[in-house]
Chains A and B, each alone.
Chain A
């Protein structure tokens, strides 16, 4: 049986951004795409949602301090 890792409570929500969305994020943070935090292409969640190298993921997770926090990661 394949485990449904996306439904696990410890796996936060990962979403692939479109090119225009990704560009907007990069511009908003005022960085080059390579300066974003990274995530490996062979990360189980990345494989599960079918993200490709070069994609930017929007990860929404729980935060002790802020309640909810959004982080953007570049797939390596």
Chain B
């Protein structure tokens, strides 16, 4: 296909004049009926054959081309009375308001006119918009008297959608048109009208263009019944009323009847253009469904622009539910066989793959590595059937294209909406698997933000070698382990990977050698020399690490002790790796977790993406075998604390509540001292919040002191696998203060939160302090306050996603054509420089050290260990 390239130098928007509408029309439409009894279109009806043909067998009576080639031709309806175009009602109102009804001049003085015309002239010369000036003119030209003929100006208002009211009198459309006709042509430009392409009176319609049938095709249902397009229905209404109006006028019917019909005609024409115009009840289908008229075809998410022009449906794509598969690589995606047989890869037949392709054709569309279509060198597409198989196989020769089934190792694009960053679409290698879901490795959940509670994802199959090559080098999952957002890993271990690695590597964990070999085999690691004694977990994990890896860091489990004991840390939180041997410290989220994995980060940056993928694939499997050795589970039993602890917490909370009462009393007795810059009330509020906050934290600390590292929930919280200590203490000790709009709850009834309290009560309980723990259970009042706080959270996230989605659309629109050139400059599609060096420092954040060119401290530390190791 050859495209024609033309540069658009100018687009002119104007109005269609009645003459133009008649000139482009092939026929006048008069009858509201569409087809006669025999099903043939009626002449001068809405389906007049001169309006174009759709049926490919017929020839068009207007242009002579066959159906499909004929784009259709407009007709027209002569309106019995003029009607205002809804889309221009506001403009008409502004023009009438700014012009004199007597002399037709704009309500500006001669000097103002000269001044504005000059301004507009220079804007034109600079090819700038005159919108600001026109806006200003419309505000200035609101005078009580015409500066030209001294005629008094009555106020003109608009009664939505299309009624123009002068004083108390509603102008008829004819009167509106007459006034617009009167407007002086020299003043057009002042009101933003280009006299070359528009006249204001054209905004009041006297003749209505009828779009060709190709725009509003009728559908024949299976029953043989014909169903017309919404636009046709609307045009039928217009024609009917128009005819009745004409008849009544000719018969000299009373003014009232004529006016009623005129109004009705206005209604139908208005809803024909826009069926959601404010102030007009939408026209409905017989079923009660509102009609989809012209404006509705274009507007909004389902409109022509967003749904058909900015976005399109594509072939060779699939969508289904996702589920996890820890046994496939992060680079892979499991594709159901059912899908693999539907979406295909085009393969050019050569002398070298001839036999292979023949096998595919032999298998046909039903057996898996088969083929669905064969494309001959003359571009004819032939479906592979049992009947056609033989002749295809006979004729197959180099130059043919076989559309074969998707197979293991093919590269596909995998995507989850909302596609907010580049990691939302990555290239995966296909692995054809049984069942009906897409399978993905758990490590790629964070970049897609995917979970398995019913999420669906899309897959697209590349159709050219170029796209495959490009995707393989730029879009493969392993190339996206580091996020350009913060220069650290975004793909990495999650949940059980983290708990598992911790259980494997923490101090004191030992494994019999035979189990170690099982783990090693499962993780696809090379077999080491046998030790003939039990292995420590740290020794096992060291098998994953490159031999020259050196690093030190504090693990996620680090409790930030006042004085760090370093390697002697009793929490096992000081990680030291010397020449690829894990000397001290346990492996947790900080090692290879998504968002913060330091070892992973270092491996990607120093050893490349291939090594990093191997590391992740093996490390996660090793961690899983570590967790499988002992089993791992959690329940509310993990949040159980002894009676003694409960009593201590109860005492603490009661003291805090008493302290709050004291503060309130002090406030009422005016004994409270205001903090600088705060009112007394604010001071009280802050102090109460502080007391209650502290008591919650303290109660948490008490609960925490009874939690040990043998507790699975605690392991998960401290290693960063899932949950937090706050979650646990809220379950075990005290939920704490609920908040709405960043403060204690104070809304609801007048002067109190609920009718259970006294007016003006300020106590802890009355303002949403939840004393209970989740495990104990909340009392009804606490439950209600908790629901209030929870609701606010939900509303906030809903609003935030809507706002950020809109912002994203606008940013993408503004930035979509910018790219970094080979010389390091950022330019738009016209070659205009946006930045003369990308990011001003030329650094690719995805290849940087957390945004910096290099982390000098880290490098020095590594060298220090290295020299010490020698």
Residues of A bordering B, CB below 8 Å? 29-32, 34-37, 63-66, 69-72
Contacts and interface: CB of A to CB of B under 8 A. Distances in A.
Interface stretch (B404-412, B559-567, B839-847): B839-847
B841 A65 contact: yes
A61 B578 CA distance: 44
A57 B339 CA distance: 59
A31 B841 contact: no
A64 B840 CA distance: 9
Contacts of B839: 65-66
A71 B834 CA distance: 10
Interface string B328-339: 000000000000
Contact of A65 (B831, B836, B840): B840
A69 B840 contact: yes
Contacts of A66: 837, 839-841
B840 A31 contact: no
B836 A29 contact: yes
Contacts, number: 35
A72 B836 contact: yes
Nearest to A76: B126
B833 A29 contact: yes
A65 B834 contact: no
Chain B interface size range: 10 to 19
Contacts of A31: 831, 833
Contact of A36 (B823, B830, B833, B837): B833
Contacts of B666: none
B600 to A, nearest CB: 25
Nearest to A61: B840
A31 B825 CA distance: 11
Nearest to A70: B836
Nearest to B830: A35
B833 A69 contact: no
Given A37-B832, A66-B837, A70-B836, 11 more contacts: A29-B833, A29-B836, A35-B831, A35-B832, A36-B832, A37-B833, A63-B840, A64-B840, A65-B841, A66-B841, A72-B836
A69 B837 contact: yes
A37 B837 contact: no
A37 B787 CA distance: 53
A32 B843 CA distance: 25
A63 B834 contact: no
Contacts of A65: 839-841, 843
A18 to B, nearest CB: 19
A37 B834 contact: yes
Contact of A63 (B823, B827, B830, B841): B841
A69 B843 CA distance: 14
The majority secondary structure among interface residues of chain B is: loop
Contacts of B832: 34-37
Contact of B833 (A35, A63, A64): A35
Contacts of A72: 836
A64 B837 CA distance: 13
Contacts of B833: 29, 31, 35-37
Contacts of B823: 29-30
Contact of B836 (A32, A34, A64, A71): A71
Contacts of A34: 832
30 contacts: A29-B823, A29-B825, A29-B836, A30-B823, A31-B831, A31-B833, A32-B831, A34-B832, A35-B827, A35-B830, A35-B831, A35-B832, A36-B832, A36-B833, A37-B832, A37-B833, A37-B834, A63-B841, A64-B840, A65-B839, A65-B840, A65-B841, A65-B843, A66-B837, A66-B839, A66-B841, A69-B837, A69-B840, A70-B836, A72-B836
Nearest to B842: A66
What are the 8 A-B residue pairs with the smallest beta carbon separation, nearest first? A66-B841, A65-B841, A66-B840, A69-B840, A63-B840, A35-B832, A65-B840, A35-B831
A1 to B, nearest CB: 31
Interface string B630-646: 00000000000000000
Interface string B786-827: 000000000000000000000000000000000000010101
Contacts of B837: 66, 69
B542 to A, nearest CB: 37
Interface in B186-217: none
Contacts of A64: 840
A5 B832 CA distance: 29
Nearest to A31: B833
A31 B836 CA distance: 11
A46 to B, nearest CB: 17
A36 B830 CA distance: 11
Contacts of B830: 35
Contacts of B827: 35
Contacts of B831: 31-32, 35
B710 to A, nearest CB: 47
Interface string B710-740: 0000000000000000000000000000000
B127 to A, nearest CB: 12
A21 B270 CA distance: 62
Interface in B832-861: 832-834, 836-837, 839-841, 843
Nearest to B853: A65
Nearest to A64: B840
A69 B836 CA distance: 10
Contacts of A70: 836
A65 to B, nearest CB: 4
Contacts of A71: 836
A14 to B, nearest CB: 16
B431 to A, nearest CB: 41
Nearest to B838: A65
Nearest to A34: B832
A70 B827 CA distance: 17
Contacts of B836: 29, 70-72
A69 B841 CA distance: 8
